[in-house]
Amino acid sequence: MTSTNQTDHTFSGNYANVNGLNIYYEIYGQGAPLVLIHGGGSTIGSSFGRTIPLFAQNRQVIAVELQAHGRTGDRDADLSFEQDADDVAALLQHLKLSQADVFGFSNGATTTLQLAIRHPALVRKIILGSPLAKRSGVPEGFWNFMNQANLENMPEALKEAYRQVAPDPNGLQTMHDRDAKRMQQFTDIPDALLQNIKAPALIIIGDKDVITPAHALELQRLLDGSELAIIPGTHGAYIDEITTIQPSRKQSEFVVPMIERFLDKHSIKQL
């Protein structure tokens, strides 16, 4: 089907049955494939509504909604970053894509790390927006907050974005609870697995992000040859994520060209 989302940009929205999950995805533009993986509690539009039209000017953008999020179904199983990575890999295989660049934001960035670990042949370059790889990578008090997470405290903009697209609005509670449980049970990604990632990586965080600069620097050290950009702003402000949008600021118009320069340049690691 063809429709228009909040970006007012024409796209092809489709479903694919992969790994027993009816997964929703959208395709925009033409060119080299760039996969977008949204954050926790989010949809395609709430994470990437401002950036998709910019990326789609030069690339084929494939934006996906993962288990229990937005228009994608649920399975009778807890969420895991490893399973999400396997689902994205299966979708790429369904689309007959042998390799793609991948941009994951927040939880989507952790999924992107797992995709690069578990399915390295499918990944050319990765952009990690506010990635979490270690429990020590967030400010003091974060885990106590997560242990007390409830739907009432979820940002209203994210709840409304879900309700606008989900076939079953009652699934909002399920999405929240699955995301919260995954974070509560999060364990560190071993250094050895991170060091084995071969895909060139660009790490992006805000200077007032949930992810600490120290963690971003640690991850840059572990990912050989990776690059790091620390942008003024809060979690997701650099892509104008829906909870950060300000009428007078469009950081995505600065960050998207930076990402494209990273994607377009020759990489020594690929020799």
Asked whether residue 12 carries a pLDDT value surpassing 60, the answer given is yes
pLDDT, tens digit (0-9, with 9 covering 90-100), for 140-188: 899 999 999 999 999 999 999 999 999 888 899 999 999 999 999 999 9
Phi first, then psi: give them for residue 182, nearest 5 degrees.
-60, -45
Q: Is 47 exposed, middle or buried (0-12, 13-18, 19+ CB in 10 A)?
A: buried
pLDDT tier for residue 8 given thresholds of 50, 70 and 90: very low
pLDDT, tens digit (0-9, with 9 covering 90-100), for 197-253: 999 999 999 999 999 999 999 999 999 999 999 999 999 999 999 999 877 678 889
Q: At what angle do helices 171-184 and 107-118 cross, to 10 degrees?
A: 70
Of 20, 59, 82, 38, residue with least CA distance to 260 = 59
Give the tokens for residue 51. Answer: 């950036």
Residue 122 contacts residue 89 (beta carbons within 8 Å): yes
Domains of the chain: 2-264 (3.40.50.1820)
Return d(Cα 52, Cα 249) in angstroms, integer: 17
pLDDT, tens digit (0-9, with 9 covering 90-100), for 20-46: 999 999 999 999 999 999 999 999 999
